[in-house]
């Protein structure tokens, strides 16, 4: 299965946070799945860390790539067609990062691993 991690899912997985659902935990742990992290999530992590809203054990510039390598997560670049597809989404969620992840999941035929209830309102397969 090919899946895209929501930003909080990536962080909770790496911090072994109990808020991560058992289904999400099992899916990520299963080595047969292809796990993607969007460049948009790396950007969101960088912004939150810079503003003091996210504590990490090391700076994002080393933390995110090292965690991705450790777990064999694949990078999903943000392409122009992803950003333009956001315009076609119903205005149900105000978070621009989540809207971009939804667009990427739709266009790349990925399931989105997210506990965000607002994401479930879109035409995208969500696993939680």
Asked whether 1 and 35 are in contact (CB, 8 A), the reply is no
Count of domains forming the chain: 1
Mean pLDDT over residues 109-113, rounded? 98
Model's pTM, two decimal places? 0.96
Asked whether 25 and 56 are in contact (CB, 8 A), the reply is no
- Report pLDDT for 117: 94
Copy the structure tokens of residue 36: 């993607």
Q: What is the CATH number of the domain that holds 93?
A: 3.40.50.1010
Domain that holds residue 121: 2-127
Please report where in the chains the tokens 């989404």 appear, as a residue: 89
pLDDT exceeding 70 applies to what percent of the chain?
A: 100
Mean pLDDT over residues 40-61, rounded? 98
Mean pLDDT of the chain, nearest integer = 97
pLDDT tens for 24-45 read 999 999 999 999 999 999 999 9
């Amino acid at each position: 299965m090919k899946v895209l991690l929501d930003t909080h899912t990536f962080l909770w997985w790496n911090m072994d946070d109990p808020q991560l659902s058992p289904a999400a935990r099992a899916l990520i742990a299963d080595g047969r799945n292809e796990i993607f992290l969007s460049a948009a999530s790396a950007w969101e992590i960088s912004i939150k860390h810079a503003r003091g809203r996210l504590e990490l054990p090391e700076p994002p510039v080393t933390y995110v790539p090292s965690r991705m390598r450790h777990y064999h997560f694949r990078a999903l670049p943000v392409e122009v067609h992803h950003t333009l597809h956001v315009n076609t989404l119903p205005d149900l969620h105000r978070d621009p990062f989540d809207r971009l992840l939804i667009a990427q999941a739709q266009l790349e035929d990925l399931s989105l691993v997210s506990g965000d209830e607002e994401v479930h309102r879109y035409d995208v397969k969500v696993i939680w």
